[in-house]
Amino acid sequence: MSVTAAKGFTAAGIAAGIKENGNPDLALVVNNGPRRAAAGVFTSNRVKAAPVLWSEQVLKSGQVSAVVLNSGGANACTGPKGFQDTHATAEKVAEVLGRGAVEVAVCSTGLIGVLLPMDKLLPGVETAADQLSEHGGEKAAIAIKTTDTVHKTAVVSGKDGWTVGGMAKGAGMLAPGLATMLVVLTTDADLDGDVLDKALRAATNVTFDRVDSDGCMSTNDTVLLLASGSSGITPEYDEFAEAVRAVCDDLGQQLIRDAEGASKDIKVEVVNAASEADAVEVGRSIARNNLLKCAIHGEDPNWGRVLSAIGTTSAAFEPDRLNVAINGVWVCKNGSVGEDRELVDMRYREVHIVADLAAGNESATIWTNDLTADYVHENSAYSS
Amino acid sequence: MSVTAAKGFTAAGIAAGIKENGNPDLALVVNNGPRRAAAGVFTSNRVKAAPVLWSEQVLKSGQVSAVVLNSGGANACTGPKGFQDTHATAEKVAEVLGRGAVEVAVCSTGLIGVLLPMDKLLPGVETAADQLSEHGGEKAAIAIKTTDTVHKTAVVSGKDGWTVGGMAKGAGMLAPGLATMLVVLTTDADLDGDVLDKALRAATNVTFDRVDSDGCMSTNDTVLLLASGSSGITPEYDEFAEAVRAVCDDLGQQLIRDAEGASKDIKVEVVNAASEADAVEVGRSIARNNLLKCAIHGEDPNWGRVLSAIGTTSAAFEPDRLNVAINGVWVCKNGSVGEDRELVDMRYREVHIVADLAAGNESATIWTNDLTADYVHENSAYSS
C-alpha cells in the first residue's frame, strides 16, 4: 500500500514522457490533512541537485502538503535554469491542488547534468493530479524507479490504529550520508514536525546511512516523512520511532537486495569496538574495499582483505587481537590464521562478516554488496 | 639494468619453489659499498606484515647491506611464527653474505594469512647468493612479480657520473599511503641516510602516494633506497632528489599501466585549489569513485559523477563555480552543463580529467584506472 497505507494521503504515478522509453516517470503524493507536518533528511553531498536545494527550504517550515517526484532526470548540476524548473514544478503542483508552492517538496532522480523536459513534466503534473487516489501508492512507487528492477514499499501499523508506510527507489550509488535514493514515508499519526524530525533522523542514522552498496554518494538523496494526523492518535514517541525505524530498515534491505549487478548481500557486523563511531568507521572501510567485494563475489573467504581494510582506519584496536568470522567460521584469530577457510560455506546470497576489534563493547552493522562484472557493465553502459 | 645500474650493487632472482607454478619468486639485492646507507618508506596500514615490522626496525639504523624479497606469499597476518620466519630469512642472508642480520631488509608479497614455505625459501637464499651478479637486476625484477604482466625497472643518471636505478612490483591494491608494491632503488651517489630519507620521502609523496588504482591499501608496501657511494660523487641535493623523483615517477606510471584488469589510465588533475591538501583530497575522491571508473571504462564522459565525488570532500569550493574538462573538453562550466559531451574523444587508453575548483592556486595530480569486468574477474578468481 506504500504511501497510501496511512489515512489522509492520496497518490498517483503516471508516464509523463520524461523517460524516452515511455515508462512511468512522475509521482505525486498529497497530504489531505488535517495536519501537514513533515520532516526531511537530505544528501550530505555538497553538490546538491536543484530539487534538494528547493526541498530543504520547504522543510524548514515543518509543513508539506504534497511531494512531486520524477525519474528520468536528476536535475542536478543544471545551474539557475535547473532551479527555475524545480520552482516551476512546485508552482504547478500548488496551482492544480490549490495549495502554496512553499509546501510542495520536489524530488528528482536520473542522469546528472541534463535539463528536464518541462514541456512534458508540467502537463504530467496535471494528469497525475487527476489520478490521485487513496489506492495510488503502488503506482507512485513504480513511477520513481530508475535502474530498480522492483518497486519498493513497506508498511508498519501501530497497535492502536495508526500506520507508517512508505516507498523507496534506489539501486546504485547507495552510500552513507544517505544511500542514493528517494524515499517518501507517510503516517496518519497525529504528531508535529519536531517529533517527526527526531524520529526520522534516528531511523535514517541506523538504516539508510548504514547501507553502502558502492561507496558513492548522490546529489539527490531525499527522505521525507509526512504526517496527516488523520488517525487522531498520538502514539508514544518510542513506539512511533520504532515503527519509522522498521519501515526504513525494511526499505533499506530492499535497496541492498536490488543493488545494481550484485550477486551477494554482505552484512558487515563490527563488534567489541571502543565506540559506535569506531564500529561504523571500520564497517564502512570493510564495506568499501573493492578487493574484498570481488573476493566475496568469487565466494573466496579472503579475510586478509578484511584485515587490510581495518588497518586503514583510525579505530582503536591492536592488530594482534583482531578476530574475523565469515559465515560463522572464525577464519582469523588474534590477527593471524584461525579456523580452516575451507569450512566457510559461501554458496548463498547473504554473506555475514563479523569483525571483532576486541577493544570495547560497542557495535554497528553496515550492509553492502559484492562487486561484479554486471555492476561494471550496468554502470559503464548506462549513463546515470 | 634495474637495481644493478648503479655501481656497487649485485643482485639475483631465482625460482625457490615458493610459488607452486615454478616461476621465479626470490630476489636478493646486495650493497657492496663502500657505503651502506639506506632509507625506507613503508605502508601506513596499521595491519603490517611481518617483513614490514622487521624492515622498519632495520631501517632505523640508516644502514642496509642487503634486501631479500619473495613473491608467492605476503607473510602478513601470520602471527609470531610469521615474524620468526622473517627473522630466520634475514639471518640466513646474513650468514651466506657474512653480514649482520640487523642490516638485512626483508620484503614479501602475495597472499595474506599463509605461512611461507621456509623449507624452500631458506635453501633459495643460498642459491640466490651463489648467483649474485652485477647484471642481476633484471632477474631480480622478474622474481618479485605477482600478478604483474611485466617487470618494472627504471634508471636515471646524473650528469657527472652517478646513477639512480630501481625495480618495482605491483599490479593491484595501488593506493595512497603507498601503492601496494615493493620497490628497491639503488644509487652509487655518496650520500648518508638522512639525505636519502629526505629525498625518498619527497619523491614518494608526489609519485607512489598519488597512484591510486583501486583505493585499497596493502599490508606490505615497502620502498627502499640504498646508496653504495661507489661513484665517489656527492651530488647537489636538488639534483639527486629530482633523479629519485624521476625514477619513482617512471616506476609509478609503470604500475598504473599494468594495473589489474585496467583498460584506461586516468590522470586526475585538480587545479586552482585553495591548498595542495585540498587538491589531493579531491583528486583521491574522484579517483576512488567506482561509478566514474565504470563510466570511463564505457568511454562515457559522465562529468556528473566527477561533481558527485568532489561534493563528498571537505575541500574549499563553491558548487556553482566548479569546472570539469575531460580530454580537453570543458563539459562542466560553473557547476552546470558546459561544452557538448559528444565532443569528448575517449578512444585512447589515457584519459585526462581536469577538475577546476576555482578556489586558489594549488594543484595535484592523482593517477588511477578504470573499473572493469576483468578487474572483478582477476580479484574474484585469484586469491591475493
3-state SS string for B307-376: HHHHCCCCCCCCHHHCEEEECCEEEEECCEECCCHHHCCCCCCEEEEEEECCCCCEEEEEEEECCCHHHH
Is it the case that residue B209 has pLDDT exceeding 90?
Answer: no
Residues of B in contact with A313 (CB under 8 A): 46
pLDDT of residue B180: 59
User: How far apart are alpha carbons B339 and B328 in whole angstroms?
Assistant: 10
Closest by CA to B363, choosing from B282, B270, B287, B268, is: B270
In sequence order, the β-bridge partners of residue B293 are none
Q: Are residues B169 and B69 in the same domain?
A: yes
Where is the domain boundary, A222, A257, A292? A257
Q: Are residues B318 and B353 in the same domain?
A: yes
Per-residue pLDDT 10s for chain A (384 aa) are: 799 999 999 999 999 999 999 999 999 999 999 999 999 999 888 889 999 999 999 999 999 999 999 999 999 999 999 999 999 999 999 999 999 999 999 999 988 888 999 999 999 999 999 999 999 999 999 999 988 889 999 999 998 899 999 999 986 545 444 446 899 999 999 999 999 999 999 999 999 888 876 666 788 889 999 999 999 999 999 999 999 999 999 999 898 888 878 899 999 999 999 999 999 999 999 998 888 988 999 899 999 889 989 998 999 999 999 999 999 999 999 999 999 999 999 999 999 999 999 999 999 999 998 888 887 887 776 554
Report, as an integer, the average pLDDT of B162-184.
74
Residues of B in contact with A84 (CB under 8 A): none
- Per DSSP, the residues of A153-216 read EEEEE-TTS-EEEEEEE-SS---SSS-S-EEEEEE-S---HHHHHHHHHHHHHHTGGGB-SSS-
pLDDT of residue B179: 42
Number of compact structural domains in chain A: 2
pLDDT of residue B178: 42
Minimum Cα–Cα distance from B216: chain A residue: A289
Nearest to A46 among B288, B311, B337 (CB): B311
Q: ipTM of this complex > 0.90?
A: no
Q: Do B225 and B187 touch, CB atoms closer than 8 A?
A: yes
Minimum Cα–Cα distance from A112: chain B residue: B304
Q: Are residues A238 and A277 in the same domain?
A: no
Q: Do A123 and A4 touch, CB atoms closer than 8 A?
A: no
User: How far apart are alpha carbons B10 and B2 in whole angstroms?
Assistant: 11
Domain of A199, CATH number, reads: 3.60.70.12
- From the CA of B124, how many Å to the nearest CA of chain A? 25
Q: Are residues B72 and B167 in the same domain?
A: yes
Q: Are residues A319 and A248 in the same domain?
A: no
CA within 13 Å, CB half, B241: 14
Q: Are residues A136 and A275 in the same domain?
A: no
Where is the domain boundary, A219, A240, A257? A257
Is the Cβ pair B172, A291 closer than 8 Å? Answer: yes
Where is the domain boundary, B202, B227, B257? B257
Nearest to A113 among B172, B304, B377 (CB): B304
DSSP B193: H
Q: Are residues A356 and A248 in the same domain?
A: no
Is it the case that residue B201 has pLDDT exceeding 50?
Answer: yes
Residues of A in contact with B78 (CB under 8 A): 336-337
User: How far apart are alpha carbons A182 and B280 in whole angstroms?
Assistant: 31
Q: Are residues B366 and B235 in the same domain?
A: no
pLDDT of residue B176: 43
Q: Are residues B210 and B278 in the same domain?
A: no
Least confident of A348-352, A364-368, B38-42, B255-259: B255-259
Q: Are residues B247 and B276 in the same domain?
A: no
Question: Residue B154 contacts by C-beta under 8 Å, 6 or more apart in sequence?
Answer: B165, B166, B168, B246, B247, B250, B251, B254
Is the Cβ pair B304, A219 closer than 8 Å? Answer: yes
pLDDT of residue B173: 46
Domain of B342, CATH number, reads: 3.10.20.340
Per the structure, the complete domain to which residue B295 belongs is given by: 265-381
- From the CA of B234, how many Å to the nearest CA of chain A? 38
Report, as an integer, the average pLDDT of B310-338.
94
DSSP B104: E
Q: Are residues A48 and A163 in the same domain?
A: yes
- The one catalytic residue in A43, A147, A180, A219 is A180
Is the Cβ pair A217, B372 closer than 8 Å? Answer: no
Q: Are residues B179 and B160 in the same domain?
A: yes
Nearest to A112 among B111, B307, B320 (CB): B307
